[in-house]
Amino acid sequence: MSYVQQVEPEIVIRGVLDPGSPNFERILLHVTGPMTLSGLGITLALNSGGQFFPIFDNCFWFPNVSTERDTWVIVYSKRGSQEWTEFQGVPVLNLFWQRESTMFSRSAPNVVPMMFRVDGVASGDLL
């Protein structure tokens, strides 16, 4: 018996749409409960049999934006400006990674988006 309660995450990666397609490649996320996106990030990772290994220097940080349940968040690889839209009455937050090129490919299906949360930080002084 486990003493750790299983909970549904507040935001879930549903997948990558149009991988490798310039101006269309995007990561689709679904918000399952009210939340603030600050502290979340996405990095590219190698999926090796269900173990994920981050790929150096490929990180997207979410802005400090509050969302409600059933909001869709779309992170485009391309350049652009944050904007709110609606699809069939459901709020959609469009975000942009500001990349010059696509990041995903059907010929490399083990390169995937990996979301993470930063709950605390420490900093140091210059010596």
Q: Cβ of 101: how many Cβ atoms within 10 Å? A: 9
Q: Is the sign of the CA dihedral 79, 92, 113, 3 positive or negative?
A: positive
Tens of pLDDT along the chain (127 residues) come to 445 455 568 999 999 999 999 999 999 999 999 999 999 999 999 999 989 999 998 999 999 999 999 999 999 999 999 999 999 999 999 999 999 999 999 999 999 999 998 888 889 999 9
For 29, other C-beta atoms within 10 Å of its C-beta total: 24
The reported pTM is 0.89
Instruction: State the pLDDT at residue 7.
Output: 56
Q: Per the structure block, which two tokens stand in for 62? A: 């979410």
| 62 secondary structure, DSSP code | P
